[in-house]
């Protein structure tokens, strides 16, 4: 079959913003770019979409190749298409974000992949338009997490209510009444209380919970309330 003649072909890239939570603040995973231009500068995880590979597959492959991470929450965010965003050659980038349990990967990342976690509140200048991408991803997470249970993806399988509350307080840079918070999250029916306690955070210990995966998938797309006064939130 004949081709579309006289049209510009461009490079198609995928970039991924990987979010993690260390129990205290949100972090993003960055890597030192391995090739020119901007070799050695901090960058998001990125790569080119290969022949016979979908954008989706490319995002998962790049995540795996650059960090060893796979099977995590990954969502398409936005396509950045300024003609000069990469000075080398025209490249459109389909930006994604991922949410991972940071503790699960911490060791492997710095040893095997030379990737580093940086606090979302202070991280280096990134190559090209990657800072814009992070800004957009941050807004998207805050937007989506107000109504959908995506932040659980940042926690281990077993977690405590105080841990969960810390996470929400950190993402929204606010403090939440713990009585109201536990009522709200338990009312979603997404959590199962375990008999085991986490004794690392206090003498008394806090009960572990885990996700009810049935309900989690069933209600993922519903509008659940996770934060107070969501109507005052901007994105």
Partner DNA sequence: GCAAAAGTGTTTTTGTTACACCCATGT
Partner DNA sequence: ACATGGGTGTAACAAAAACACTTTTGC
Residues that bind DNA (CB under 7 A): 160-162, 177-180, 182-184, 187, 197, 199, 201-207, 225, 228-229
> From the list a second copy, DNA, none, which binds 107 (C-beta under 5 to 8 Å, kind-based)?
none
Exactly one of 4, 71, 125, 203 binds a second copy (CB under 8 A); which one? 4
50 touches a second copy by CB under 8 A? yes
36 touches a second copy by CB under 8 A? yes
- How far apart are alpha carbons 98 and 80 in whole angstroms? 17
- How far apart are alpha carbons 40 and 47 in whole angstroms? 15
Q: What are phi and psi of 209, to 5 degrees?
A: -125, 160
Neighbours of 234 (CB within 10 A): 6
Longest dimension (CA), the chain: 72
Q: Residue 47 or 228: which CB sits closer to DNA?
A: 228
- How far apart are alpha carbons 113 and 3 in whole angstroms? 40
40 touches a second copy by CB under 8 A? no
Q: Residue 91 or 163: which CB sits closer to a second copy?
A: 91
Exactly one of 25, 38, 56, 116 binds a second copy (CB under 8 A); which one? 56
DSSP 113: I
> From the list a second copy, DNA, none, which binds 207 (C-beta under 5 to 8 Å, kind-based)?
DNA
Q: Residue 11 or 192: which CB sits closer to a second copy?
A: 11
214 touches a second copy by CB under 8 A? no
Task: Choose one: 26-34, 84-92, 123-131, 198-206; the region binding a second copy (CB under 8 A).
Answer: 84-92
| Strand 91-99 relative to strand 73-80, pairing | antiparallel
Q: Is there a cis peptide before residue 37, judged by omega within 30 degrees of 0? A: yes
């Amino acid at each position: 079959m004949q081709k579309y003649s006289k049209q510009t072909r461009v490079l198609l890239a995928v970039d991924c913003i990987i979010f993690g939570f260390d129990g205290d603040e949100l972090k993003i995973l960055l890597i030192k770019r391995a090739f020119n231009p901007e070799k050695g500068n901090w960058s998001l995880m990125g790569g080119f979409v290969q022949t016979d590979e979908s954008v989706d597959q490319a995002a998962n492959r790049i995540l795996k190749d650059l960090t060893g991470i796979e099977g995590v929450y990954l969502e398409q965010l936005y396509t950045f298409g300024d003609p000069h965003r990469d000075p080398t050659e025209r490249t459109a980038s389909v930006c994604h974000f991922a949410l991972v349990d940071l503790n699960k990967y911490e060791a492997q990342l710095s040893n095997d992949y030379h990737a580093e976690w940086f606090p979302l509140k202070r991280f280096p200048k990134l190559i090209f338009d990657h800072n814009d991408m992070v800004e957009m991803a941050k807004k998207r997470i805050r937007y989506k997490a107000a109504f959908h249970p995506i932040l659980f993806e940042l926690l281990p399988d077993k977690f405590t209510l105080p841990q969960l509350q810390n996470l929400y307080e950190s993402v929204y840079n606010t403090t939440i009444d713990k009585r109201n918070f536990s009522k709200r999250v338990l009312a979603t029916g997404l959590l199962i209380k375990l008999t085991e306690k986490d004794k690392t955070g206090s003498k008394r210990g806090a009960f572990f919970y885990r996700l009810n995966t049935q309900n989690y998938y069933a209600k993922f797309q519903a509008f659940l309330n996770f934060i107070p006064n969501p109507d005052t939130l901007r994105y």
